[in-house]
Structure 1
Amino acid sequence: MGKVFGLLGHPVGHSMSPQIHNDAFNKEGIEAVYHAFDVKPELVREAISGLRALQIAGCNVTVPHKLAVMEFLDEIDEEARLIGAVNTIVNQDGKLIGYNTDGRGYVQSLLEEMNSDIKDKRILIIGAGGAARGVLTALLQHGIAHVAITNRTLEKANSFLALANNFSISAEAIDRIDAEERLHEFDVVINTTSVGMSPHIHETPLSLTKLRKESVVSDLIYNPLETTFLKEAKSQGALIINGVGMFVNQAALSFEYWTGKKPDREQMKKIVLQQLGGTTC
């Protein structure tokens, strides 16, 4: 019998993870299967106990369980601890270890699409939730010149500054109006919120009136593939990047933790795009 891997979330019916991972297992000749497990929030403890009891080899964790699973694991990787969330669990001979591949997956996609480094870039992050913290942590680990965080609640954006200070990188929290007025100062603008996601596809998180033509505008959303936010940025001459690359890269990194092998990321992306019915931006 092959190994079993899975996804813990609620709901999980929409997830493309089983398709891309099962395809990757098949392509790599690995005898394994990946299932999506719909786990209600009040049953997270029991789900983790189930991983142990059934000797599940590893799993991904998605909303709303990325924080909740942490207290039930045996060990938390330093990056996941800094982010404050786990999206990948590895069962290492009965010891459950939590990792987070979201931020690194994002930075990899950013570097791939930009085809240049970001160490000298000034970056604006929109949002101050879990996704933003993952992206910020990975950006800080990679190294950037400056980061600003804008959020509906400035207090929450301010809470991110201590993380940046740990890396001795210049950082500030600014309100939305200030962010819109100073948009020309930033090389990269990243939307980490759900504003603009289907079905609310006409909403945008920020006005792009003062966007520089040579800027990069990135949206973690991949449904729709091209949000109204990205469309507006493209109309002003910016390079736009949707969330497909992040989704594929974080999945590939999880696969590597579980198997020690690098999956075909282009094949993963192809499957995702087929499911979404489009092409990359």
Structure 2
Amino acid sequence: MDLKLALIGTPIQHSLSPWIHQQFLEKAGMNGEYQLFEILPEESFEDRVMELKGMGVDGFNVTVPYKQKIFPFLDEVDKNAVKAGAVNTVVRRNGKWIGYNTDGTGFLRSLKTYYPSVNPSMQILLIGGGGATRGIYYAMAAAGYENIDIANRTTKKAEEIAELSEGAVHTTVLDLDNAQEQLKKYDVIIQTTSVGMKPYTDHSIMPLDGLKQGAIVSDIVYQPLKTAFLLQADELGADTHLGHTMLLYQAQHAFEIWTGKNVDVEEMDNKLMKILEG
């Protein structure tokens, strides 16, 4: 039986998800299709979602701006997605639509693949206060990371994210100036905002002066592959972790949810880099 998969969101015409999941289908020896199902802001979201249900898809991804809006249309939501406050993957199982979030787990898989020395005792700094920050924070907390600080321009959203830990993680909420002053204490620094994304490639969320020797600096932005933030880190001698790898590993987890099959993504890294570089 052919697998029917889709992506909902807007704009999605330039999404790399169809290419990634076609690679996965081939690796898994499965037949299927992954189509774009754009829902425009002026359209009825409910009507379009019901149309998608009527198409008999086996599963679909959800991207901006619908990661929260999809909740009322699901029969069940995985506890990790509830904690993360967003759904990016839906599977049809036994006639029910079940929502998951693979962003945080995908990021952590990616980080651990490229830097196996990363471990729960390290001092982590997350920069941001949005959905990506939330998903990564909860995934790391659930994996046993003990010290995860959050820095954001305004601390209110960061404080709301810190509440997800339920006391299991030590978290200090900082503004960007205070975080910059304390950079030398962090082993891993993760930039989770859209700052530095094309076309604003000269923008960086904060200076990295005072970085700890041997620190790992990560940016989830993947257009461009090397953001101004990561170029700073390079100049200071840090190890860097590129955002496109999170894209691969969150998709890998989604494919597992849909099919039960684990596909190897490591050799796809260079192919994806070449596509992103044009």
The TM-score bracket by the shorter chain reads: over 0.9
Deviations 1:22-62 (A, max 9, x none): 12213322121000111124533223212321111100111
What pairs with 1:2-13 in structure 2 (closer than 5 Å)?
2-13=2-13
Is 2:160 the counterpart of 1:123? Answer: no
- Partner of 2:206 in structure 1? 206
Please show how residues 34-53 of structure 1 align to structure 2 within 5 Å: 34-41=34-41, 42-53=43-54
CA distance in 2, matches of 1:233, 1:267: 25
Distance 1:167 1:255, change over 3 A: farther
Q: Percent identity?
A: 40
* Correspondence 1:45-84 to 2 at 5 A: 45-84=46-85
Partner of 1:107: 108
1:177-209 deviation line (CA, Å, top 9, x unaligned): 111101111111110001111110111001111
| Unmatched segments (≥5 aa) in structure 2 | none
> What are the equivalent positions in structure 2 for 1:155-234 lying under 5 Å apart?
155-164=156-165, 166-234=166-234
Shift of 1:227: 0.8
SS in 1 for 2:91: strand
Mapped partners of 2:48, 2:139: distance in 1: 29
Offset, 1:167: 4.9
1:25 aligns with 2:21: no
Deviations 1:127-172 (A, max 9, x none): 00000000001110112231111111111111122112x1511111
Is 2:137 aligned against 1:133? no
Instruction: Report the residue type matching 1:262 in the other structure.
Output: N
Identify the residue that residue 265 of structure 1 maps to in structure 2. Answer: 265
SS in 2 for 1:214: coil
State the distance in 2 between where 1:154 and 1:82 align.
19
CA contact (8 A) 2:146 2:168 kept: no
Paired letter, 2:184 = H
Structure-2 separation of matches of 1:48 and 1:171 = 38
Provide the rounded CA distance (Å) in 2 between the counterparts of 1:196 and 1:72. Answer: 34
- Cα deviation for residue 80 of structure 1 reads 0.4
Tell me which residue corresponds to 1:94. Answer: 95
Question: Mean Cα displacement is larger for which, 125-134 or 18-27?
Answer: 18-27
Aligned with 2:44: secondary structure?
Answer: helix
- Report the AA paired with residue 36 of structure 1: L
Q: Secondary structure at the match of 1:67?
A: coil
Secondary structure of the residue that 2:172 maps to in structure 1?
strand
Task: State how far apart, in whole Å, the 1-side matches of 2:48 and 2:192 are.
Answer: 28
Deviates more, 1:130-139 or 1:254-263: 254-263
Q: Secondary structure at the match of 1:208?
A: coil
State how far apart, in whole Å, the 2-side matches of 1:8 and 1:43 are: 13
Give the letter aligned to residue 264 of structure 2: D
Q: How many Å separate the matches in 1 of 2:15 and 2:51?
A: 21
Displacement of 1:6 after TM fit?
A: 0.4
Deviates more, 1:268-277 or 1:12-21: 268-277
Compute the displacement of 1:267 (Å). 4.3
Unaligned runs of 5+ in 1: none
For normalisation by structure 1, the TM-score amounts to 0.94
Q: Which moved more, 1:74-83 or 1:153-162?
A: 153-162
1:245 positional shift = 1.4
How far apart are residue 81 of structure 1 and its match?
A: 0.5
Distance 1:274 1:234 in 2: 21
**Structure 2: how far apart are the matches of 1:267 and 1:214?**
26
Match of 2:148 in 1: 147
